[in-house]
């Protein structure tokens, strides 16, 4: 057990180091000079003033030292929880910008992932036993999973937002409101949250439902199901076993899909101008704010790694085969 | 023999396929007595498993065409687990891998209205009888070796003392030592009254010969011959049985290659089986009468055979010689 988690931790650590390195590298090779851009934005008209200002900003951002030192500094600062200063929202620290955006993204992602997983598994399992339900769940599920997040988002925004006028289609809350713990504000927050959530939920739901339906059908054909049937076990018992066994590959599926779901959430936020990490990434790119971009990416990577680790642990707890195999090995 | 336990009467079970019915079980009539272990033998594809399934559970493609099967007056399929039970061929994967064995048994017996708590002492006794400790109840199937799983399944299948136990090719996947152990356990289960009678399905006559009281030989969806095991092996009457037995290296002796191979030709396809005797095109003794279907007749007490030749000529020795002569002559049939 210890060896297993030791190995897993090592793998996650390596992934983390690679991710940080890539994350440091990529923006530096992006086209465009962020400092120059900042200078043009502040419209420094005097060409002679540009050189000292440039020097000043490069020092502020730590760009005045050799590359290797920038890399080391990056790690040191990162471990201190400092990701630099945003160019776009200068001089707000990147960490603060991200901290403001994270709740929005998590509020979208966590309910969308959990609810779609639970509902998808339930509906998929039902579909595997009722012909009429199967005939609807299967095609609907396929259409939903095959729909790109962006496209479903646009469709929902257009139909329920613009045409239907039921939900707002942009922002985290209305501009005229001040954030506070009032019913009006929370209601407003919810109505802005609903469409991005729904589009994430629907796409993921289709995938889980189809996966579960296929897994159950496969499980019901397994030898153990056949044997139980031969021994006159009631269908309910066999289905209970099949459902439980099918949940295990669905859990693996969840770990595998996590990255896709996060990417979907980022894209969805962009469609709905929802002030989460996805929207930050877009703004960072538009403003060539590579500190912000780095920080956001890094945050996403750490989040996905952590979530994967949690799923790994859950898997070991729920699947006796893995648990027993590990005990046998140690 | 003593009282009749299982009575199968003119049973016909076909498989529905897009190309028509596969006549896998085409009118079989036989009886199994109380405490009888009947071996059911024949080449692969002759309908053994179909017969076994039609006594327990029809699969989706099986169609009951005619006839009936009665077990102590109960019409089969029916009384699964409590009256008829099965030891499957796939014992290695028969138990749900994610549930502890004790839990599985508890779920199963409770579903049949029994109390696991009350059955537990007997369950443990039986596990110990087959050389397993009570600890296996706390194990997942993956924690058991192949032989242990096989034995656990045997105990599980017979826990409620069924009247009829069907073992379908239970030994095919095992090595020779385990095969012998399983065969002996089956006899022990009968002797201790865990099961009343038993059908042991196999393509391996030399294996059932060691444990069976009687042997029933099937060919192409029909019965060829049934007799006490000794008689069937030492004085078979049906040309097919003789070929099966003469193709064994040495009857009754265990040997690595004692499979039922080596009879030239193939069994007919059961979509459109030939009329008359189904063994006709492979039979070295076939003659004009064989264009008519031979009935399954009792030629001596307890000895049934479906062959015109065997019925008309009383002396089996003669036929056997003819058969052997044909074989050694190497004439292609
Ligand atoms: N599900 C099925 N659908 C169609 N034909 C089948 C099916 N199962 C078995 N058969 C056919 O029925 C015949 C008897 O099969 P089976 O009872 O499995 O033979 P055995 O157990 O003696 O090897 C074979 O010809 C086989 O091809
Ligand atoms: S009935 Fe005829 S063909 Fe059939 S086994 Fe007997 S002799 Fe051979
Ligand atoms: Mg078979």
pLDDT at B38: 96
Of all protein residues, whose CA lies closest to atom 7 belonging to ligand 1? B15
Please tell me the least confidently modeled range out of A78-87, A135-144, B57-66, B152-161: A78-87
Q: Is A78 helix (H, G, I), strand (E, B) or coil?
A: helix
Cα–Cα distance for residue pair B118/B116, rounded to 1 Å = 5
Question: B327 falls in which pLDDT band (50, 70, 90)?
Answer: very low
Instruction: Sketch out chain A's domains with CATH numbers.
Output: 16-82 (no CATH), 95-329 (1.10.3720.10)
> Which residues from chain A sit within 8 angstroms of residue B82, using beta carbons?
232
Per-residue pLDDT of chain A (330 residues; tens, 9 = 90+): 778 888 888 988 898 899 888 888 876 776 666 677 667 766 656 777 777 777 777 777 777 788 888 889 888 888 888 887 887 887 888 889 999 999 999 999 999 999 999 999 999 999 988 888 888 888 888 988 888 888 888 888 888 888 888 888 888 887 777 777 788 888 888 988 999 999 999 999 999 999 999 999 999 999 999 999 999 999 999 999 999 999 999 998 888 888 888 888 999 999 988 999 999 999 988 887 878 888 888 888 888 888 888 888 888 888 877 777 766 544
Of all protein residues, whose CA lies closest to atom 12 belonging to ligand 1? B24
Binding site membership of B309 for ligand 2 (Cβ less than 6 Å): yes
Please tell me the least confidently modeled range out of A46-50, B59-63, B265-269: A46-50
pLDDT at A223: 93
pLDDT at B262: 67
Binding site membership of B286 for ligand 2 (Cβ less than 6 Å): yes
Are A223 and B142 a contacting pair at CB < 8 A? no
Cα–Cα distance for residue pair B319/B275, rounded to 1 Å = 23
Nearest residue to A243 (alpha-carbon basis) of A124, A119, A117: A124
pLDDT at A7: 87
SS in 3 state form for chain B? CCCEEEEEEEEEEEEEECCEEEEEEEEEEEEEECCCEEEEECCCCCCHHHHHHHHHCCCCCEEEEEEEEEECCEEECCCECCCEEEECCCHHHCCCCCCCHHHHHHHHHHHCCCCHHHHHHHHHHHHHHCCCCHHHHHCCHHHCCHHHHHHHHHHHHHCCCCCEEEEECCCCCCCHHHHHHHHHHHHHHHHCCCCCEEEEECCCHHHHHHHCCEEEEEECCEEEEEEEHHHHHHCCCCHHHHHHHHCCCCCCCCCCCCCCCCCCCCCCCCCCCCCCCCCHHHCCCCCHHHHCCCCCEEEECCEEECCHHHHHCCCHHHHHHHHHHHHHHCCCC
Residue B258 has pLDDT above 90, yes or no: no
Of all protein residues, whose CA lies closest to atom 4 belonging to ligand 1? B15
pLDDT at B333: 37
Are B142 and A321 a contacting pair at CB < 8 A? yes
Among left, alpha and beta (phi > 0; psi -120 to 50; other), residue B27 is left
Please tell me the least confidently modeled range out of A47-61, B103-117, B232-246: A47-61
ipTM metric = 0.85
Query: Which ligand 2 atom minimizes the distance to the CA of B283?
Result: 8
Of B80, B94, B142, the CB nearest to A324: B142
Are A324 and B100 a contacting pair at CB < 8 A? no
Is A235 in CB contact (< 8 Å) with chain B? Answer: no
CA–centroid distance, B44 to ligand 3, in Å, is 6
Q: Tally A–B CB contacts below 8 A.
A: 71
Structure pTM? 0.81
Of A229, A244, A324, the CB nearest to B143: A324
Is A321 in CB contact (< 8 Å) with chain B? Answer: yes
Minimum CA–CA partner of B79 in chain A: A232
| Strand pairing report for B164-168 and B214-219 | unpaired
Q: How far is A222 from chain B (nearest CA, A)?
A: 8
CA–centroid distance, B191 to ligand 1, in Å, is 32
pLDDT at B324: 45
The residues lining ligand 1, judged by C-beta closer than 6 Å to any ligand atom, are B 15, 17, 22, 24, 42, 44-50, 61, 270
């Amino acid at each position: 057990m210890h060896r297993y988690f030791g190995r897993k931790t090592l793998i996650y650590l390596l992934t983390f180091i690679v991710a940080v390195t890539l994350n440091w590298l990529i923006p530096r090779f992006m086209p465009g000079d962020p400092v120059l851009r900042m200078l043009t934005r502040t419209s420094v008209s005097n060409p002679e003033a540009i050189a000292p200002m440039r020097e000043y900003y490069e020092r502020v951002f730590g760009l005045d030292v050799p590359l290797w030192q920038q890399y080391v500094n990056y790690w040191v600062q990162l471990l201190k929880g400092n990701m630099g200063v945003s160019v776009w929202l200068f001089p707000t620290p990147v960490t603060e910008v991200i901290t403001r955006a994270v709740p929005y993204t998590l509020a979208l992602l966590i309910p969308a992932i959990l609810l779609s997983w639970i509902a998808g598994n339930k509906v998929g399992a039902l579909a595997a036993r009722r012909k009429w339900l199967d005939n609807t769940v299967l095609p609907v599920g396929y259409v939903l999973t095959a729909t790109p997040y962006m496209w479903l988002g646009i469709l929902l925004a257009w139909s329920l937002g613009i045409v239907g006028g039921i939900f707002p289609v942009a922002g985290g809350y209305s501009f005229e409101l001040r954030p506070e713990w009032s019913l009006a504000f929370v209601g407003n927050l919810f109505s802005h949250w609903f469409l991005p959530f729904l589009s994430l939920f629907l796409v993921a739901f289709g995938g889980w439902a189809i996966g579960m339906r296929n897994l159950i059908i496969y499980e019901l054909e397994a030898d153990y199901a056949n044997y139980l049937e031969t021994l006159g076990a009631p269908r309910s018992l066999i289905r209970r076993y099949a459902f439980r066994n099918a949940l295990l590959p669905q859990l693996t599926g969840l770990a595998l899909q996590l990255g896709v779901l996060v990417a979907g959430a980022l894209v969805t936020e962009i469609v709905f101008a929802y002030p989460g990490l996805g929207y930050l990434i877009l703004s960072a790119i538009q403003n060539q704010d590579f500190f912000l971009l780095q920080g956001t990416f890094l945050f996403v990577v750490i989040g996905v790694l952590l979530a994967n680790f949690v799923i790994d642990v859950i898997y070991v707890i729920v699947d006796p085969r893995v648990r027993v195999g590990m005990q046998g090995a140690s | 023999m003593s009282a009749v336990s299982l009575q199968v009467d003119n049973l016909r079970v076909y498989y529905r396929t897009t190309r028509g019915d596969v006549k896998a079980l085409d009118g079989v009539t036989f009886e199994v007595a109380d405490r009888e272990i009947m071996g059911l033998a024949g080449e692969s594809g002759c309908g053994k498993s179909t017969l076994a399934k039609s006594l327990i559970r029809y699969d989706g493609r099986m169609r009951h065409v005619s006839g009936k099967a009665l077990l102590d007056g109960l019409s089969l399929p029916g009384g699964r687990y409590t009256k008829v039970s099965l030891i499957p061929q796939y014992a290695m994967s028969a138990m749900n891998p994610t549930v502890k064995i004790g839990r599985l048994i508890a779920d199963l017996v409770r579903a049949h209205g029994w109390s696991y708590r009350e059955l537990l002492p007997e369950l443990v006794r039986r596990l110990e009888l087959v050389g397993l400790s009570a600890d296996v109840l706390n194990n997942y199937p993956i924690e058991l070796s192949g032989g242990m799983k096989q034995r656990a399944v045997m105990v599980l299948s017979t826990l409620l003392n069924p009247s009829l136990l069907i073992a379908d090719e239970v030994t095919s996947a095992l090595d020779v030592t385990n095969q012998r152990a399983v065969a002996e356990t089956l006899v022990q289960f009968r002797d201790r009254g865990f099961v009343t009678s038993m059908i042991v399905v196999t393509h391996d006559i030399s294996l059932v010969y060691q444990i069976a009281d009687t042997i029933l030989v099937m060919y192409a969806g029909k019965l060829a011959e049934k007799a006490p095991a000794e008689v069937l092996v030492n004085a078979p009457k049906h040309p097919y049985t003789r070929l099966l037995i003469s193709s064994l290296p040495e009857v009754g002796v265990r040997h690595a290659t004692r499979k039922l191979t080596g009879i030239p030709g193939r069994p007919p396809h059961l979509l459109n089986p030939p009329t008359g005797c189904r063994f006709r095109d492979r039979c070295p003794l076939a003659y004009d009468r064989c264009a008519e279907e031979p009935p399954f007749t009792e030629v001596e007490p307890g000895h049934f055979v479906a062959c015109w030749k065997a019925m008309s000529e009383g002396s089996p020795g003669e036929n056997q010689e003819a058969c052997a002569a044909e074989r050694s002559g190497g004439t292609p049939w």
